[in-house]
Amino acid sequence: MEQRHADRIAEQLEELVFDGTFSDGDRLDEVRLSELFGVSRTPLREAIQRLAQSGLVELIPRRGAFVRQPGPVELIEMFEVMAELEAACGRLAAMRIADTALEALREANTRCQRAVEAGDTDSYYAENERFHKIIYRSSGNAFLEQEATKLHKRLKPFRRVQLRFRGRMGQSMAEHEAIVAALADADADAAATALRTHVAVQGEKFHNLMASLRSAAE
């Protein structure tokens, strides 16, 4: 099944930005990349337009496309939004989640637990992701699911770092239990709170300080 070159290139470029092949501030040279992908500049530029729209690269007129990796502050902000989006998913899912989904959640959780006991971090990440994806889906809001998935993907490269910050995986598992319990009880506020704190990073006080300085400076 033939795919448009521009589509394929957009995906591959995105991958190259995510996996750190390009560092922050690197310019995406059109001729170099077109040779790399074996196409002309035209489909490559169309792909770049899309990356620009999703914020992965910055387009400076007559200068080129520069990759825009989030700095520490922006990263904290993005995690904060992720926490709120997951909280929203939890709030809605508490009212709408199906029994089958609840069961799937429990299963993912036990597999998560097993991965922790086996020390299998790769498997843990996979099951953890499945756990959260089920909650996105169970919000019963396809648009929210899409937005949450998009940001989740964007933050993927930084999630391991976040986990190291937060300490051990054990605490994360306990929070999963609390989340499932809240959803089973149809307790919207509890589910939202549990998910928010689950995703939130430690550096919140630091961020509060930064933010207050920023608004005071205006």
Question: Which chain residues interact with a second copy by CB under 8 A?
Answer: 3-4, 6-7, 42, 45-47, 49-50, 52-54, 61, 74, 77-78, 80-81, 84-85, 87-88, 91-92, 95-98, 100-101, 137-138, 140-144, 147, 207-208, 210-212, 214-216, 218
* Position among 16, 36, 59, 78 found at the interface with DNA (CB under 7 A): 59
Residue 10 makes contact with DNA by CB under 7 A: no
Nearer to a second copy, 21 or 49 (CB): 49
Taking CB within 5 to 8 Å according to partner kind, which of a second copy, DNA, none is near residue 92? a second copy
- The answer to whether the CB of 195 falls within 8 A of the CB of 87 is yes
- The answer to whether the CB of 50 falls within 8 A of the CB of 10 is yes
Residue 53 makes contact with DNA by CB under 7 A: no
Q: What tokens appear for 4 in the block?
A: 């448009």
The closest alpha carbon to 144, from 81, 198, 98, 189, belongs to 81
* Position among 18, 45, 163, 193 found at the interface with DNA (CB under 7 A): 45
- The answer to whether the CB of 16 falls within 8 A of the CB of 55 is no
HSE toward the beta carbon, residue 16, CA cutoff 13 A: 19
What distance in Å separates the CA atoms of residue 122 and residue 140, rounded to the nearest whole number? 29
State the residues that interact with DNA by CB under 7 A: 2, 4-6, 27-31, 38-43, 45-46, 59, 61-65
